[in-house]
Amino acid sequence: METKIFQTEEIDQAAELLSRGELVAFPTETVYGLGANALLPESVQQVFAVKGRPSDNPLIVHVADFSMTKAFVESYHPFTKKIVNHFWPGPLTLIFSIKEGSLSPVVTGGLSTAAFRMPDNKKTLSLIEKTGAPLVGPSANTSGKPSPTTAMHVFHDLKGKIAGILDDGATQIGVESTVLDLSNEVPTILRPGAVTKEALEEVLSVEIPLDKHLVKESETPKAPGMKYKHYSPDTPVLMIAPDDWDKALAWARANDQKVGLLATPRIADQYSSADRFVFADQSVEAATRGLFSGLRALDEAGKTDIIFAEVFPEDHLGLAYMNRLKKAAGQNYFSEK
At 94-137, the pLDDT tens digits run: 999 999 999 999 999 999 999 999 999 999 999 999 999 999 99
Run of H or E including 94: strand 92-97
* Pair 162, 1: CB distance under 8 Å: yes
Give residue 313's Cα distance to chain centre: 20
- Percent helix, strand, coil in the chain, to 5, is 35, 20, 45
pLDDT of residue 232: 84
At 10-30, the pLDDT tens digits run: 999 999 999 999 999 999 999
- Rounded CA-CA distance 323/88 in Å is 23
- Does the structure show a pLDDT above 60 at 315? yes
pLDDT of residue 213: 65
pLDDT of residue 202: 97
Number of H helices, E strands in the chain: 11, 14
Give the confidence band of 221 by pLDDT, cuts at 50, 70, 90.
Answer: low
- Does the structure show a pLDDT above 60 at 227? no
List of domains in the chain: 4-204 (3.90.870.10), 237-328 (3.40.50.11030)
Run of H or E including 151: helix 151-158
* Pair 64, 203: CB distance under 8 Å: no
- Does the structure show a pLDDT above 70 at 216? no
Give the confidence band of 52 by pLDDT, cuts at 50, 70, 90.
Answer: confident
**Would the CA dihedral through 282, 285, 290, 292 be positive or negative?**
positive
The stretch 308-315 carries a mean pLDDT of: 97
